[in-house]
A and B are shown apart, each in its own frame.
Chain A
Amino acid sequence: MSLSKIAGIWEKLIWPWRPESNREAGSGIVANFLLHWFPNRISLRSLAFPASLYLGTITFVVFLVLTVTGVILMFLYVPSVERAYWSLKDLDHAVSFGWLLRRLHRISAHLMVALVFLHMFRVFLTGSYKAGEIVKSARPFNWVLGVSLLVLTLLLSFTGYLLPWDQLAFWAITVGTNIAAAVPYVGETIRQFLLGGTIIGQPTLIRFYVLHCALLPLVLFAVAAWHMWRIRKDGGLAIVEEDRKEALAREPQAPKKSKTYSVLGIASGTTVQVNDPTTLNEDNSVPSTPFLTVRILLITLLTVAVSIGLSLVIQAPLEAAANPEVTPNPAKAPWYFLGLQEMVGYSALMGGVIVPTIVILGLMLIPFLDREQKGIGYWFTDGPGRKWGVFGFLFGLVTTCGCLALALLAPMRSIFPTIESQVFFDLVNPATFLLLLFAGMYFVVLKKTDSTRYAAIATFCAFIIAFVILTYTGTALRGPNWDFFWPWQAWPVHPTAL
């Protein structure tokens, strides 16, 4: 092979291409498969950091890190109850860099859950689930896809949790599958279907393993691809509504594009580019390559660097091997479920089934309940939006602390010592009160402001703070026997036990 050929391959590998003109940048996208991901030009408003904080991009990068480390871990992990725990011990002590792989996979999983939540908060607070008035986009539907991605992420974390087959794993799954059993009528059937029997054993491990390594990642990848494709189809981030408004104001009579780009016979309707008045020009946009590509490359490198950095300092814990005979005290789920576990402590049916179902359904319904189209792409919409955000935050703070205090100081069973009916305690408990208080606040704010957006902002901010407080309580303030301890109080060394 001649030297020039090698140099040619090197050039292709490092891709030193710099477009000289807009036209060349456009042709570059046609020529390069990877660049199809991005549009030809990108609005400066979209590109700005505060518009998105790049949280979706970071989440996807973390998912890629999880995929790569996960595939390697699959070669080293044995999904059998006799050997799973010992293959983890091997990873930590016998496999070269096994500890790094495991830490990186674990820390990325935690990061992904946190990032998916943060991304959802960003999309909600900037009103980016709204269709817009000029070109009705399908952003409401994309929000629903996003909520499904949140659920898929939590399911992936949950199924991954059992695989180390240590005490933490075993008891988290015991608690989790019993929450499923709290569903009326079909609960026990669901539990046994998840377990593949009546107790946690080999059939359970192999089920969770296949879900974690094959089924759920495939579904998540497909839905994530759809999620990102829809952003392209909807013409970019929600803030481009501003560009559209400006374009319309500039040239109200400008001829509209009328060519359809949909896959005829498969997808119905037209893309938003048809009839879109936006003409991204020299003033309000730049070519995606290199401006967006370089930013995404930088974000990718930073994300990977931070994940690796964190996994160098944060150890991945491994408790004693799973022992069905001894429950650790306290037995805690992973942090993102501890808010749920706190509420499950009031009632398994209300805290573990009804509240999460209402929260997920409520999140999915947001774009269909709030159809106002003002301030799309702007944080908290406008001034009053910020005010109602602060109000919701404070309301959530007070009510959540109030309900916690009620749960700690006056448990329902001590207030009503004579009542034995379980249905009563499933319906009357702090989790129910919190749910009713938030629903009530939504309608009060709606009545006062006559704005679904302000009511939604207030409720969502209350939800965020409630989630944070409950998670913190479950994580840091609950000790042996799920008793309450202040952070400065020491846990009893020897809980009374037989």
Chain B
Amino acid sequence: MASNTVNNEVRVSSDAGADPTRRGFLGRLTAAVAAVGALVAGWPLLRSLVPNVLYEPPKKFRIGAPENFQEGVTFLEEHRIFLFRDSSNYHAVSGICTHLGCTVKFSPFTLPQEETVRQFTYRALGEFHCPCHGSKFRGEGTNYAGPAPRPLKCFHLELSRATGELVVDVATEVSRDFRLVV
């Protein structure tokens, strides 16, 4: 049987090991130059696809006068942010699930309740549920069920000097006890 065996497996090159002749050297040189050439030619092609200018909405924006927001929680659909107001205290929680980026939904409690999560006591109005893979977050953002790897982000809030409106800065993350007092 063995004498009838012929190996027909695909081989890219028939040379085994380095060929010490001049022909072999020139062959390898050609391959090396071709590889460098391909890299040099390929770089601009790929680099051009990485944008230098993004035409995306700004990361810092005004959302309106503080007194316009109701007591409790308001969802700013356009920015995917939950704005919490506790009389004169304001803070903003991101509505983007830390798992795969779906928008979480706020599931309110019937009555607000005192809650301590990771040594932080606050008045919880409800909790966040993600529709995509079932992640759940406490009212201050801590993930406690499902695949979400991190708590929801909290964003920096300030008052606009020009108009007195609330300004959210989604590029600046703050800790969950951050409150803007107006």
Contact = CB atoms under 8 A, between A and B. Distances in A.
B5 to A, nearest CB: 6
Interface string B76-120: 011010100000000000000001111101111000000000000
Contacts of B4: 134, 248, 275, 277
Given A328-B131, A345-B134, A348-B99, A411 B5 contact: no
A477 B125 CA distance: 30
A492 B56 CA distance: 37
Chain A interface SS verdict (over half) = loop
A309 interface: no
Interface in A245-259: 248
A413 B133 contact: no
B105 A495 contact: yes
A344 B101 contact: no
Contacts of A135: 5-6, 8
Nearest to A420: B118
B1 interface: yes
Contacts of A324: 80
Interface residues of B, number: 45
B54 interface: yes
Interface in A316-335: 324-331
Contacts of A483: 134
Nearest to B128: A498
Chain B interface SS verdict (over half) = loop
Interface stretch (A40-48, A193-201, A386-394): A193-201
A196 B49 contact: yes
B10 A141 contact: yes
A136 B51 contact: no
A413 B144 contact: yes
Contacts, number: 143
Contacts of A325: 77-78, 80, 103
Contacts of A414: 145
B7 interface: yes
A223 B98 CA distance: 38
Contacts of A341: 133
B105 A345 contact: no
A174 B105 CA distance: 17
A326 B56 contact: no
B9 A203 contact: no
Contact of A327 (B107, B131, B145): B131
A197 B54 contact: yes
B135 to A, nearest CB: 8
Given A171-B102, A272-B8, A275-B4, A348 B129 contact: no
A344 B54 contact: no
Interface in A113-167: 131, 133-138, 140-141
Interface string A424-454: 0110000000000000000000000000000
A203 B51 contact: yes
A498 B100 contact: no
19 contacts: A134-B4, A136-B9, A137-B8, A138-B9, A175-B102, A175-B132, A196-B49, A248-B4, A274-B6, A324-B80, A326-B103, A330-B132, A348-B99, A348-B100, A411-B146, A414-B145, A496-B107, A497-B106, A498-B108
Interface of A: 131, 133-138, 140-141, 171, 174-175, 178-179, 192-193, 196-199, 201-203, 207, 234, 248, 268-272, 274-275, 277, 324-331, 341, 344-348, 351, 411, 413-414, 422, 425-426, 480-483, 495-498
Given A141-B9, A201-B55, A413-B145, 15 more contacts: A136-B5, A138-B9, A138-B10, A178-B99, A193-B50, A269-B8, A269-B11, A270-B8, A272-B6, A325-B80, A329-B131, A348-B99, A411-B146, A413-B144, A498-B75
The 4 closest A-B pairs by CB, nearest first: A482-B134, A329-B131, A178-B100, A325-B77
